[in-house]
């Protein structure tokens, strides 16, 4: 699973903590300088993803792979 985190103006956000919660332990990634993140070998189940960055409002998304 891959993605890019952007702010409301479309600018990439580096350093965002992305956490996937599903069955089992949560897995975590941090966005790079282009706002990109990647999770390798994610099981095909329903996940809740949360995105957090200091001084920004956090958000959550539901996703099935």
pLDDT at 30: 97
How many domains are contained in the chain? Answer: 1
Instruction: Give exposure, 35-47, as e/b (b: 16+ Cβ within 10 Å).
Output: bebebeeeeeeeb
Mean pLDDT score, 11-40: 94
Share of the chain above pLDDT 70, in %: 86
Which domain range does residue 60 map to? 2-64
pLDDT tens track for 9-18: 999 999 999 9
pLDDT > 70? residue 48: yes
pTM: 0.80
């Amino acid at each position: 699973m891959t993605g890019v985190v952007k702010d409301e103006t479309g600018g990439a956000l580096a350093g965002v903590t992305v956490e996937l919660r599903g069955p089992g332990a949560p897995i975590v990634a941090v966005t790079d300088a282009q706002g990109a993140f990647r999770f390798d070998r994610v099981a095909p189940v329903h996940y809740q993803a949360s995105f957090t960055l200091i001084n920004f409002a956090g958000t959550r998304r539901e996703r099935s792979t």
